[in-house]
Amino acid sequence: MGSRANLLSNVPTNAGNQVGSIPGAGPSLADLTRPDFPLLAQTACSGQPLIYLDHAATSQKPRQVLATLQHYYDHDNANVHRGAHQLSARATEGFEGARAKTAAFVGAASPHEIVFTRNASEAINLVARSWGDANLKAGDEVLLSVMEHHSNLVPWQLLAARTGCVLRHVGLTESGELDLGDFQAQLNERTRLVSLVQVSNTLGCLNPIAEIATLAHAAGALLLVDACQSLAHLPVDVGQLGADFLVGSSHKLCGPTGMGFLWARESLLEAMPPFLGGGEMIQDVFLGSSTWAGLPHKFEAGTPAIGEAIGMGAALDYLNSLGLERVHAWEQQLTAHLFARLEAIEGLRILGPTPQQQPDRGALAAFSVAGLHANDLAELLDCAGICIRSGHHCTQPLHRHYGLAASARASLSFTTTLEEIDRFAEELIGAIAFLREHS
């Protein structure tokens, strides 16, 4: 392994370029934000600067979020909603303040429309278990797509097994975008729910959610949006999207792990039965029956992830301070540069639309190289201090659609620099050459 690392380290880079800047322009967003992220300043085991290109899997955390978590546990640690003492009051204020921040971040009508969960997967399961079990029966249809993350496939498969509802899946265009014609063809009077990702974690395509919402509602169906890959990269407003449910995950928003949320229209939440039973979610408990707390607490059984919620609130403050329009504009430039470098590599195939085909696409590129395994590429790049993803990215049906067992994925953030993309591309060229020589 050491010899391969040395081989790759000899590949020339563009180290003379100003980090993360555009010639003739001032400091980039990456220049301004990288000092806030201590992890990005470390040296990799290879002795080279660490390059983190796995933001679609989990985002890094700025000092402001880390300081908020530390402050909570140092000064305010107590259970929420239960105590009359000052620590509980401060913890409750921070926890419910994070709910209000989350509501504002997605354009919710009220903080009561935000249900805190462990992650986006739990949020989708909540809808499937609560709304799905109460409303769907044999013959009803749920419309998904072949690009969905496993978290937006498996809960509906379990629902179908329980209720007898039918799952249908929208296909893709040749460019790797949602086939809107196929969507319209499959949408019918039996469709009760449409559940789609806004930005694919593998294809990077941005789905036309507002148009899909109009079509779904005209057919009498509700719409759930998986916004995990969009919330940290572009402005998202549930009213403008026309969604009925939307899920997000803190750890992709520069916040702590183990924290996510469900947004749903208040009228839907009011009509939905609880998902889990226990403390916090009750109004009155008798030996034979119970009544439920008001929204959103009837869906939040037990002691919640208090510090993590407060940390997520700090992460949303941080993103708001940057401005998501500004984030999106910088990441568009980075994505165009990434594609230009990858498209120049012989035998490399990128999944999903190009920035020319879809300028607002996600800031990532999943790719395969003919005759080589993605895991081998990722391992060699790791030897050079570059962290990318390899595998099926929790989208096995999508990979089967393309005849692939796995792909490699580089995913970007506003902290990514042009120099990092250049070094990644050069190291990738060296890794490909090494593997072809030794295969």
The mean pLDDT value for 147-152 works out to: 98
Which pair of tokens denotes residue 325? 């329009």
Please give the C-alpha separations between residue 136 and each of 232, 233, 308, in angstroms, as whole numbers: 32, 34, 34
Pairing of strands 222-226, 191-197: parallel
* 8-22, 94-108, 291-305, 347-361: least confidently modelled range: 8-22
pLDDT per residue over 322-358, tens digit each? Answer: 999 999 999 999 999 999 999 999 999 999 999 999 9
pLDDT given at position 217: 98
pLDDT given at position 374: 98
Please name which of 378, 364, 437, 435 lies closest in space to residue 406, comparing C-alpha atoms: 378
- For residue 19, pLDDT over 50 is answered with no
pLDDT per residue over 208-230, tens digit each? Answer: 999 999 999 999 999 999 999 99
pLDDT given at position 25: 60
**Cβ atoms 142, 156 nearer than 8 A:** yes
pLDDT given at position 16: 31
CA dihedral sign of residues 320, 326, 332, 333:
negative
pLDDT per residue over 255-304, tens digit each? Answer: 999 999 999 999 999 999 999 999 999 999 999 999 999 999 999 999 99
- For residue 1, pLDDT over 60 is answered with no
**Cβ atoms 169, 144 nearer than 8 A:** yes
Domains of the chain in start order, with CATH, are 2-53+323-437 (3.90.1150.10), 65-321 (3.40.640.10)
The mean pLDDT value for 249-260 works out to: 98
Other Cβ atoms within 10 Å of 69 Cβ, number: 17
Q: Is position 394 annotated as part of the catalytic site?
A: yes
pLDDT given at position 321: 98
Which pair of tokens denotes residue 183? 């969507």
Please give the C-alpha separations between residue 413 and each of 34, 61, 330, in angstroms, as whole numbers: 11, 12, 9
- Give the residue, 3 or 306, on which the prediction is more confident: 306
How far, in Å, CA of 235 to CA of 237, rounded? 7
- For residue 104, pLDDT over 60 is answered with yes
pLDDT per residue over 111-129, tens digit each? Answer: 999 999 999 999 999 999 9
How far, in Å, CA of 284 to CA of 139, rounded? 37
Q: Which three-class secondary structure state does DSSP give residue 383?
A: helix
- Write the DSSP string, 53-71: -BTTT-----HHHHHHHHH
Please name which of 16, 54, 18, 38 lies closest in space to residue 385, comparing C-alpha atoms: 54
**Which residue has tokens 């049906």?**
397
pLDDT given at position 439: 79
Per-chain mean pLDDT for the chain:
94
pLDDT per residue over 21-74, tens digit each? Answer: 454 567 999 999 999 999 999 999 888 999 999 999 999 999 999 999 999 999
pLDDT given at position 83: 80
The mean pLDDT value for 349-370 works out to: 98
The mean pLDDT value for 149-166 works out to: 98
pLDDT per residue over 167-178, tens digit each? Answer: 999 999 999 999
Other Cβ atoms within 10 Å of 392 Cβ, number: 19
Which pair of tokens denotes residue 231? 């919330």
Please name which of 291, 285, 165, 141 lies closest in space to residue 222, comparing C-alpha atoms: 141
Close Cβ partners of 216 (under 8 Å, ≥ 6 residues apart): 143, 187, 191, 194, 222, 223
pTM exceeds 0.95 for this model: no
- For residue 17, pLDDT over 50 is answered with no
Residue from 254, 383, 387, 394 carrying the catalytic annotation? 394
